[in-house]
Amino acid sequence: MANKKLVDYIARQIKKGQTEAMTRRILLQHGWTKSAIIEGFSEAKRNRYGSYMDPIKGNKKPSKRRPLKQTKNLSNKYRDKFEPANPKHNSKTLKIVMVALIPLIIVLIVMLLFVNGLI
């Protein structure tokens, strides 16, 4: 039997319209095993939430948008597995931005000097 909190989380994401692939990716990123995720989706589909699963067939029920803070009600034990970590600046991204900005600044300075007749 799948973890009830996992099944409930999956059901909420489905109701919000999040794709199964996106939900799986988020759960994997937060420490859930593939087997637990598969079992959770199977139980969510089988037991209670089948009518939300196939929007192509037109049986998706409309859902109300709910703020993400609903996941705050989870116990601390499971919260980290569900909620994405705060985004941090990647040092590789920062290096790429700096490498792109420095030549641009140099070109602008040279253009200003040229326009003012200083070169």
Quick one: 15 and 64 in the same domain? yes
Q: Which long-range contacts (CB under 8 A, 24 or more apart) does 20-26 make?
A: 26/82, 26/84
Quick one: 65 and 104 in the same domain? no
| Alpha carbon distance 69, 50 (integer Å) | 25
pLDDT tens, per residue, the chain with 119 residues: 778 888 889 888 888 888 999 999 999 998 899 999 899 888 888 876 555 555 554 445 556 666 555 554 555 555 555 555 555 556 777 788 888 899 999 999 999 999 998 87
Quick one: 66 and 98 in the same domain? no
Domain count, the chain: 2
| Alpha carbon distance 32, 48 (integer Å) | 21
What is the domain range of residue 70? 4-82
Quick one: 14 and 61 in the same domain? yes
